[in-house]
A and B are shown apart, each in its own frame.
Chain A
Amino acid sequence: MSAETSSKSGKTVSGAGEGHSRAAVVRGISEELAETLDRIAGELGGSPDLKMRKLLIGTAPPVQAAVVYISGLSAEDSINDFVIGSLMKVNQAREQAPDPGGESLMEYVMERALETGDARIKEDWNDIILAVLSGETAVFLNGYASAIICDTRDEEGRAIDEPTTQLVLRGPKDSFVETIGTNITLIRRRIKTPKLWFEHLTVGEASKTDVAMMFIKGTVDKKLVDEVRSRIRKIKIDAVLESGYIEELIQDKTFTPFPTIYNTERPDVVAANLLEGRVALIVDGTPFVLVLPAVFPQFFQSPADYSERVDIAILMRLIRYGSFIILLFGPSMYIALTTFHYEMIPTVLLVSLLAQRENVPFPALIEALLMEGVFEILREAGIRMPRAVGQTVSVVGGLILGQAAVEAGFVTPAMVIVVSLTGIASFAIPAYNMSIAGRIVRFGYMILAGMFGFYGITLGMIVTIAHMNSLRSFGVPYLSPFVPLSFREQQDTLLRLPLWFIRPGTVSPTRSGENQTDQGKLIDSGHEDNLSPAVQAKGKTGLLDSTEE
């Protein structure tokens, strides 16, 4: 999948950035300061936010220097104090220095003058431009074919706020923000071990988005890390504006309604997953962090499960699975029962349904599709509606459409109940992307039920389960630990057993002594699915599923 996309986007990159690529031919810097500055100004199109401060430093003769940065991206206070300020003092400092002869002025400035925390000498033109565009400051000295890069990035962003998509009653109330640095900090605060490693990767020809791959050394499967790294490196795309881009480009299978990579905006969830041996991908510019590999039961776990008492947690967990079943089969069951299997409805209820249907012109299937369609429209409109008008939508949707449709004889009240029940059930699933999956699959079931009744629903179930069995998330079977069934790993799937039952373990695509034959057929890692051989366990018998702490 990534191969196709990359070839397409690769073309766009070379087409759009014609000038850029010609300039990139000359990767070195001129020793002439004026020429260098002209080149920078030219390349950025004389952008007004590009600041080039020229100054003179050194004793005799004074050396021309320039400080280049982009206002807004950089902390101008620290540039004034620690870059320009310290450069101005070089004059005195050099006089006082006893033996400046041995080192070059560049090294002298770098080592003795600049007061910023991070400074390094760069000679590559592209590196320097990228650094400036990231908010760092470049210091050029006349006569030197290099620049000093000082880290003056101003990580200004939204303050850490309550999570908006994964709410819990009890549990931490912080969530990720758009700045990658802050997000890494949020995780580091929770896991204070030197084994928490992260790798820095850059994705996107134009956006050069920072991606941090986080894992816990020793807990994570090394092959998994290698696999993730190689998949990310293979991405060829113009820009990554959200972690969803990365998710789509590295997931095992594109054409499935079911998500195979988990995303969250909660640092506690990421921390728990890291401790289980998963890999987290933090993408700059979005509060949604990817967690992989992800298996089906994981999408029904909520962070609240571990802060509430065991009995309540088990009940809630079961209710969530139940809601998913209602979401999938609610309308289709209703259609099948009323049009094919009326004998299964209790007589008294049947009489009441009969009376309701007496004047409804549409078949139950059309009626259901109509109502579900309306519900989807309402939901979509509700997201986009400005908050002030949001109320109107719910009133119009709930009262006018629901009640009036019944009174006008478009639909039966029973159908309204079924549709609203499935609508509410879809919100009981903690992971939004799993709830969308259910919403899509539901329509397929409705059509099957309208054609074949329960027989059709059964056929659909067989196909769905077969399809889910074919899915892998970075080599881990999607339905594990249900399929392949492992009783020992059920502590945190349908039920949430007490914490001391949940053994720590590692998520790994293969377990020792199991499916040895699978490892024979090795497939190159860029290929769509089936990574199990490439992402092999080190023979550790660990938990395949998600056991959160």
Chain B
Amino acid sequence: MRLQRRIAAIAVCCLLLLAGCWDSVELNRRAIVAGMAIDKGPSPEREYMLSFQIIVADEITGKNSRGNSPVVLYTGTGRSMYEALSNASKQIARFLSLGHIRVVIISEEFAREGIKGIMDTLERESEARLTSLMFVARGQMAKDCMTLMTALGKIPANDLVGKVENTSSTFGYNFRMEVDDIIRGIQVPGGGALMNGVWVSGDKETGKSNENMHDITPAAILRISGIAAFKGDKLVGWLDNGEARGVALLQHRLTQTPVVVHTDGNLIVFNIFDNSVHLKARAADPEHPVIMIRITQQASIKELNGNLDLMNPDMLKRAEAELEETTKKDVEKAIQIARSMNSDYLGFGEAVERSNPRGWKKIEDHWDDVFARCEVKVQVKAVTQSTEMRSRSMKMPE
């Protein structure tokens, strides 16, 4: 009995040794992918062209830096995402590790054809994370957006993430859109996904080398540009300017944004720092739903070019009214463009479903028609919370 137990114990220990280590990979056997670009290849055999931006750790922190590029780009092609990914191993000496992908860029060409296949792989692959940010390369090869040297920070993918975060928290025309958001977006019936656009301006060839950082003015810059609107999984149009901000507002993703208004020939710039958006549908009659949008904004005055008397509450009220009007216009424009693209990425359908789940079943199949003609009521209330460090304008007579 005792002997048997001992044998069993030894056997268990051996089993442990046999079973262990199968998925252990030492760090210096890994190629850490920071960003991935998906382009459409020239032929059906090479339809998917995946470019991986891989971190060269030695060049970033190591004492053994050779002064070379901090990242390296390898490209694999194949008939599918996964084939292309595996194919890339022909060029890469280390195990391709997707756990740290920060950025996925899809070419506009692919986006217009549909991205469901790509999204399936991104979600199915256990290593890739759902918090990576997704972009559409606006009219360019996605690969080109991965090959620019950056002055701030050494990893270009991180640089792009920083740009989105920075602009979304100060300018407000774009916001973080993660893989998870896209997957949710393309699954909304009648709706679609939204993705930030990126665009390289300047000399792409010089941008690839260290020369890009040589001058004070970089030769090529990767910049965020507009929001790509999808119908389902297909790109249908671009949102810029006010409509982009309107979309961000309706998606509850607007944090801060500057709004320029004119009152009696005076230029006032508000900084909106807090928004609350209530989107509700009155859908007792599901064929004719009314979408009620109530927006409250808190703003501060950042700039005043004119001689408006801010100490006068009436004046301030008028300025606020102008601000409300601007916001309302943004929102209405956003809705109008969504209607023109016939894509309910704003989530009106969901609001209808929430308020009248049974009625939704009746109109679900022809929601596109209902969406095109439904009534929308927008109500905006803006409050100026402060005039910042000054109250009187410089231009006001003493």
CB atoms of A347 and B24 under 8 A apart: no
| In the complex, A353 has a CB within 8 A of chain B | yes
Min CB distance, A416 to chain B, in Å? Answer: 16
Q: A347-B158, A456-B20 are in contact. Are A363 and B26 (CB under 8 A)?
A: yes
Listed stretches B94-102, B163-171, B208-216, B227-235; interface member: B94-102
CB atoms of B28 and A357 under 8 A apart: yes
Chain A residues closer than 8 Å to B17, beta-carbon distance: 451
A354 vs B27: C-alpha distance in the bound complex, in angstroms? 6
> Which residues from 5 to 32 on chain B have a C-beta closer than 8 Å to any C-beta of chain A?
16-17, 19-21, 23-28, 30, 32
Min CB distance, A342 to chain B, in Å? Answer: 6
Most chain A C-beta atoms within 10 Å of own C-beta, residue among B17, B30, B57: B57
| In the complex, A338 has a CB within 8 A of chain B | yes
Which residue on B lies nearest to A338, using beta carbons?
Answer: B27
Chain B residues closer than 8 Å to A452, beta-carbon distance: 19-20
Which residue on B lies nearest to A453, using beta carbons?
Answer: B24
Chain B residues closer than 8 Å to A358, beta-carbon distance: 28, 57-58, 62, 64
> Which residues from 292 to 309 on chain A have a C-beta closer than 8 Å to any C-beta of chain B?
none
A338 vs B57: C-alpha distance in the bound complex, in angstroms? 15
| In the complex, B61 has a CB within 8 A of chain A | yes
Q: Which of B61, B102, B127 contacts A355 (CB 8 A)?
A: B61
Min CB distance, B21 to chain A, in Å? Answer: 6
Q: A338-B27, A343-B100 are in contact. Are A354 and B20 (CB under 8 A)?
A: no
Chain B residues closer than 8 Å to A339, beta-carbon distance: 24-27
CB atoms of B27 and A357 under 8 A apart: yes
A453 vs B34: C-alpha distance in the bound complex, in angstroms? 24
| In the complex, B333 has a CB within 8 A of chain A | no
CB atoms of B26 and A343 under 8 A apart: no
Min CB distance, B55 to chain A, in Å? Answer: 6
Min CB distance, B57 to chain A, in Å? Answer: 3
CB atoms of B100 and A347 under 8 A apart: yes
Interface of A is mostly: helix
Chain B residues closer than 8 Å to A451, beta-carbon distance: 16-17, 19-21, 24
CB atoms of A351 and B57 under 8 A apart: yes
CB atoms of B27 and A342 under 8 A apart: yes
| In the complex, B60 has a CB within 8 A of chain A | yes
Query: 1/0 contact trace for B55-83 toward A, CB 8 Å?
Result: 10110111010000000000000000000
A354 vs B61: C-alpha distance in the bound complex, in angstroms? 9
Chain A residues closer than 8 Å to B25, beta-carbon distance: 339, 342
Q: A352-B57, A358-B64, A452-B20 are in contact. Are A347 and B34 (CB under 8 A)?
A: yes
Q: Which of B16, B24, B55 contacts A354 (CB 8 A)?
A: B55
Min CB distance, B36 to chain A, in Å? Answer: 14
Most chain A C-beta atoms within 10 Å of own C-beta, residue among B27, B30, B100, B102: B27
Q: Which of A342, A351, A450 contacts B20 (CB 8 A)?
A: A450
| In the complex, A350 has a CB within 8 A of chain B | yes
Query: 1/0 contact trace for A511-532 toward B, CB 8 Å?
Result: 0000000000000000000000
Min CB distance, B17 to chain A, in Å? Answer: 7
Which residue on B lies nearest to A459, using beta carbons?
Answer: B16
Min CB distance, B330 to chain A, in Å? Answer: 35
Chain A residues closer than 8 Å to B62, beta-carbon distance: 355-356, 358
CB atoms of B58 and A355 under 8 A apart: yes
A353 vs B58: C-alpha distance in the bound complex, in angstroms? 10
A451 vs B17: C-alpha distance in the bound complex, in angstroms? 7
CB atoms of A351 and B97 under 8 A apart: no
Min CB distance, B38 to chain A, in Å? Answer: 21
Query: 1/0 contact trace for A328-344 toward B, CB 8 Å?
Result: 00000000001110110
Q: Which of B20, B28, B102 contacts A360 (CB 8 A)?
A: B28
Q: Which of A340, A350, A356 contacts B32 (CB 8 A)?
A: A350
| In the complex, A90 has a CB within 8 A of chain B | no
Q: A342-B99, A450-B21 are in contact. Are A351 and B61 (CB under 8 A)?
A: yes
Which residue on B lies nearest to A336, using beta carbons?
Answer: B24
| In the complex, B116 has a CB within 8 A of chain A | no
| In the complex, A364 has a CB within 8 A of chain B | yes
A357 vs B20: C-alpha distance in the bound complex, in angstroms? 22
Min CB distance, A452 to chain B, in Å? Answer: 6
Chain A residues closer than 8 Å to B24, beta-carbon distance: 339-340, 363, 450-451, 453
A376 vs B62: C-alpha distance in the bound complex, in angstroms? 30
Min CB distance, B356 to chain A, in Å? Answer: 43
| In the complex, B129 has a CB within 8 A of chain A | yes
Min CB distance, A531 to chain B, in Å? Answer: 24
CB atoms of B27 and A347 under 8 A apart: no
A375 vs B180: C-alpha distance in the bound complex, in angstroms? 46
Q: A340-B23, A450-B21 are in contact. Are A350 and B100 (CB under 8 A)?
A: yes
Chain B residues closer than 8 Å to A343, beta-carbon distance: 97, 99-100, 127, 129
- Name 24 A/B residue pairs within 8 A (Cβ), A-sorted: A338-B27, A339-B25, A339-B26, A339-B27, A340-B24, A342-B25, A342-B27, A342-B97, A342-B100, A343-B129, A347-B32, A347-B34, A347-B158, A352-B57, A354-B57, A355-B62, A356-B62, A358-B28, A360-B28, A364-B26, A450-B21, A451-B16, A453-B23, A456-B20
Given A354-B30, A355-B64, A451-B24, 19 new contacts (CB under 8 A): A339-B24, A342-B27, A343-B97, A343-B99, A343-B127, A347-B32, A350-B100, A353-B27, A354-B55, A355-B57, A355-B58, A357-B26, A357-B28, A358-B64, A360-B28, A363-B24, A363-B26, A364-B26, A451-B19
B residues neighboring A (CB under 8 Å): 16-17, 19-21, 23-28, 30, 32, 34, 55, 57-58, 60-62, 64, 97, 99-100, 102, 127, 129, 155, 158
What 10 A-B pairs are tightest by C-beta distance, nearest first? A451-B20, A343-B99, A354-B57, A355-B62, A355-B57, A339-B24, A357-B28, A357-B27, A355-B61, A352-B61
